[in-house]
Structure 1
């Protein structure tokens, strides 16, 4: 692998990381714009937790 190819891959990876950080910052600054709350989620998570404990300890 040549030096220019290594540099190109490193630059691409760095740009991708910066883009992800920018997107994450945008989401965290206004999560209501990106996340739709599900009122049934807490109960679903509790059901999964109970099912996990049943399969692990019985």
Structure 2
């Protein structure tokens, strides 16, 4: 059996909690790429968070 077959077998038999280590940093990389593409969105999000923190 190959690694791919083993993963499919795990998913088919209800073991849905699966963490593949090479994907650990993917979210951070995607977030950073989004900020690079849309820096104005990051500033707007920061302003929204600061307003919420102050309670306005």
Whether TM exceeds 0.5 here: the answer is: no
Q: TM-score, structure 1 length as denominator?
A: 0.34
Q: TM-score, structure 2 length as denominator?
A: 0.34
Bigger radius of gyration among the two: 1
